Amino acid sequence: MDFTTVILVLDSALRLATPLLFACLAGLFSERSGIFDIGLEGKMLASAFFSASVAAFTGSVWLGLLAGMGASIFLALIHGVASITFRGNQLISGVAINFLASGVTVIVGQSWFSLGGRTPQLEGAARFQEITLPFAEALRGVPVIGPIYADLISGHSILVYAGFAAVALSWWVLYRTRFGLRLRAVGENPEAVDTAGISVIGLRYTATIICGALCGLAGTYLATGLAAGFVREMSAGRGFIALAALIFAKWRPGYALLACLLFGLLEAMGNRFQNIDVLGINVPTQFMQALPYILTVVILAGFVGRAIPPRAGGEPYVKER
Amino acid sequence: MGRLPKWADVALIPLINLALALIVSGLVVLYIGENPIEAVAIMVNGAIGSTYGWGYTLYYATNFIFTGLAVAVAFHARLFNIGGEGQAGLGGLGVALVCLFIPWPHWTLALPAAILAGALFGAALAAVPAWLQAKRGSHIVITTIMFNFIASALLVYLLVNVLKKPGQMSPETARFPEGARLPSAHDMASWVGLDFSKSAPLNITFFIAILACVAVWFLIWRTRLGYQIRAFGHSEPAAVYAGINPVKITMVTMLISGALAGLMGINSVMGEAERLVIDSVQGAGFVGIAVALMGRSHPAGVFLAALLFGMLYQGGGELEFEKPAVSREMILVIQGLVILFTGALDNMVRMPLEGLFLRLRGGAR
């Protein structure tokens, strides 16, 4: 593998890691507040569809972004009503949202565009364009650093950079603000938070809405940044990979970045090379596709650094039990 | 507990939930500019209006009975087995291996072997998440989701690289030999002199599914193991106090659950396709969740719910054929709404009903 190929694969890994990253952070906020969310996949898919549709109608990707986030937040609120207000089973609610999203996106898409569930190809201002960072072209000639800066770091859409900013912001919110402290507390011991006079329900709904907004960014990037339009089932299990990354990262923002980059890199390598030789053994691409899940199971098994979820996760809060 | 009469709990609430799901689905149909009443008529007619329709409806129902029972058994131990999709896929692999590599003289010999192989392979995939839950406390929902993806990657790998029939492009195995062909509904009807659609995939597995319902009912309510499973599901500390081994119950319940999901392979792989193809499960593992929730985890309920979803799947296909604007994905919407209303939003109906019945009883006194 030469240097240019390495840069190309890493560049592709960054793009593929971005939707994972947004979805992973979305799950992080939700699960840290004690709401399990296996509906990340459905929220991503819904926002991918609605962002692409609105971008196709209006020609503005920013309006698309708004619509995508709106759709995702709407589904997140259904999840919130089911799991917070009506104390339903959070896992079942997540499953339901995934089905709803995969059905509604195709049916409404067919009704709006009659393209077999797809949206029209997005062009120009209807997509997030690549941004060339300052001096990228001037520095390209510099050995090693030049290509890294010009091809790897520069030339992504704004959402890729926003993804990295979201990691820092999430860390700051969770560990350096009063809201973050309360959010983490409500996922560990909601009774204590309630006793302190802070609304458990309010905090959890806030976390759910943040989760919806971030999933909206993930789906919007899928349909308007990574691809140029929506196709059915385009989230293709990324919501579950993000869930795996979240466990892999042990519910921490910094590790979430590393996990998503790792899983993005695996996907990029799987796309680029059909077969990979490791020490003379041929590794099939299906193994590369399954690797994120296998790694997560290993981490979950606790053989390599145990992953312990937030203590109150999945439990509806009942005042004065 | 006991604030509701039993008939309200087992019949009224599921029916209200189902009605809510259908009303919202009807609104979706209305939104895309079709008449929901007409759509229902087409679906019902397509599903049960002919022996062809029945043949498909009951074929789908057979799949859903197996996956629904799988989820239901796990629910009794308060385990959420979301891995039916992978377990059924691997069960199909087991069935295919048995049918392909052993020259069976007659289906009566092939069928028991296929049942064993399907159950074994399905249980094998459930074993790892079960062990991780029992011994390491890893959440079974997450591990079974991960195993769905691992199983699917494994099946694609095997079909593309190992089991594919040489000299053909599509990744599927050779057709099973004649000795492994199960009698279809057409064959069975002709034994008793009746006429049944020849092209419908319904086969003898339907009766095995009914037997599985009876067996699960017997297991859960008439055996010591079933009692232990239910006790464990109601309260783990109480079960442990009563001398029930949580590791054993978790393992055994999940193995049974995985085996039931694996049995689906007999119907879809051996009965219908007569070869192993990519994605032979086609989402039936997930339908099992909706079926178990609607059926209140009782085999009789699972049977009825599976029948309903069989009608939805067959009727949905006909609907798409008659009205192309309403695509097959409408089924996914209905399925999602059924899961949402019966599973997650159950309390939305239950809480006001409980209040209502409390007041009614107060008035009667």
CATH class label, A3-301: mainly alpha
How close B102 gets to chain A, by Cα (Å)? 28
Mean pLDDT in each 10-residue stretch from start to end of chain A (321 residues)? 85 94 97 94 97 95 96 97 92 93 93 89 89 83 82 89 96 96 94 93 96 97 94 91 89 94 89 72 82 85 73 82 53
User: What are the residues facing A282 on neighbouring strands?
Assistant: A277
Domain ranges in chain B are 63-355
How confident is the model over B100-124, as a mean pLDDT?
A: 95
Beta-carbon-side half-sphere exposure of residue B211 (alpha carbons within 13 Å): 7
DSSP code for A275: E
Residue corresponding to tokens 């203590």: A311
How confident is the model over B214-236, as a mean pLDDT?
A: 96
How confident is the model over B17-40, as a mean pLDDT?
A: 92
Q: What is the reported pLDDT for A305? A: 63
Q: How far is CA A301 from CA A180, A297, A314, B74, B134, in A?
A: 29, 6, 19, 21, 11
pLDDT band (50, 70, 90) for residue B294: confident
Q: What is the reported pLDDT for A306? A: 66
Q: Is the pLDDT of residue B15 over 70?
A: yes
A281 token code pair: 């053994």
Read out DSSP for A101-122?
HHHHHHHHHHHHH-STTPPPPP
Q: What is the reported pLDDT for B364? A: 57
Q: What is the reported pLDDT for A286? A: 86
Read out DSSP for B253-269?
HHHHHHHHHHHHHIIII
Residue numbers in A near B132 (CB within 8 A): 297, 300-301
Total number of residues shown for chain A? 321
Q: How far is CA A51 from the centre of its chain?
A: 15
Count other C-beta atoms under 10 Å from residue B166's C-beta: 5
The whole-chain average pLDDT of chain B stands at 92
CB contact under 8 A, B345 and A98: no
pLDDT band (50, 70, 90) for residue B126: very high
Considering only CA atoms, which of B66, B64, B79, B120 is closest in space to residue B253? B79
Domain ranges in chain A are 3-301
| CA–CA dist B34, A271 (Å, integer) | 42
User: What are the residues facing A276 on neighbouring strands?
Assistant: A283
Question: Model ipTM?
Answer: 0.90
Q: How far is CA B154 from the centre of its chain?
A: 22
For chain B, percent of residues with pLDDT exceeding 70: 99
pLDDT band (50, 70, 90) for residue B2: low
Beta-carbon-side half-sphere exposure of residue A81 (alpha carbons within 13 Å): 11
How close A209 gets to chain B, by Cα (Å)? 18
Which residue on chain A is closest to B335 by alpha carbon?
A: A99
CB B71 within 8 A of CB B78: no
SS3 A130: strand
Model pLDDT for residues B317-346, shown as the tens digit of each residue? 899 899 888 888 888 999 899 999 988 898
Which residue on chain B is closest to A87 by alpha carbon?
A: B347
Q: Is the pLDDT of residue B262 over 80?
A: yes
Model pLDDT for residues B33-90, shown as the tens digit of each residue? 889 999 999 999 999 999 999 999 999 999 999 999 999 999 999 999 999 999 999 9
CB contact under 8 A, B343 and A92: yes
Longest dimension (CA), chain B: 79
Query: Secondary structure of chain B: what % helix, strand, coil (to 5)?
Result: 75, 0, 25
| CA–CA dist A84, A190 (Å, integer) | 12
Pairing relationship of beta strands A275-278 and A281-284 according to DSSP bridges:
antiparallel
How confident is the model over B269-274, as a mean pLDDT?
A: 94
| CA–CA dist A279, A296 (Å, integer) | 24
Query: Which residues lie below 8 Å from residue B265, measured CB to CB, with a gap of 6+?
Result: B88, B89, B91, B92, B93, B94, B95, B96, B114, B118, B121, B122, B280
Q: Is B155 exposed, middle or buried (0-12, 13-18, 19+ CB in 10 A)?
A: buried
Query: Which residues lie below 8 Å from residue B30, measured CB to CB, with a gap of 6+?
Result: B36
| CA–CA dist B63, A195 (Å, integer) | 49
Total number of residues shown for chain B? 365
Residue corresponding to tokens 């089905």: A99
Considering only CA atoms, which of B290, B169, B111, B133 is closest in space to residue A100? B290
Q: What is the reported pLDDT for B185? A: 92
pLDDT band (50, 70, 90) for residue B1: very low
**Residue B204: phi, psi to the nearest 5?**
-60, -20
Query: Hey, which residues 139-158 in chain B have their CB within 8 Å of chain A?
Result: 139, 141-143, 145-147, 149-150, 153-154, 156-157
| CA–CA dist B17, B315 (Å, integer) | 20
CB contact under 8 A, A103 and B141: no
CB A74 within 8 A of CB A212: yes
CB contact under 8 A, A297 and B138: yes
**Residue A220: phi, psi to the nearest 5?**
-60, -40
| Ramachandran area for residue B87 (φ above 0: left; ψ -120 to 50: alpha; else beta) | alpha
Write the single-letter amino acid at A222. L
Which of A36, A49, A107, A291 to mutate to probe the B interface, most B CBs <10 Å? A107
Q: How far is CA B175 from the centre of its chain?
A: 25
Q: What is the reported pLDDT for A116? A: 83
CB B90 within 8 A of CB B237: no
Q: What is the reported pLDDT for B363? A: 65
Model pLDDT for residues B155-171, shown as the tens digit of each residue? 999 999 899 888 888 88
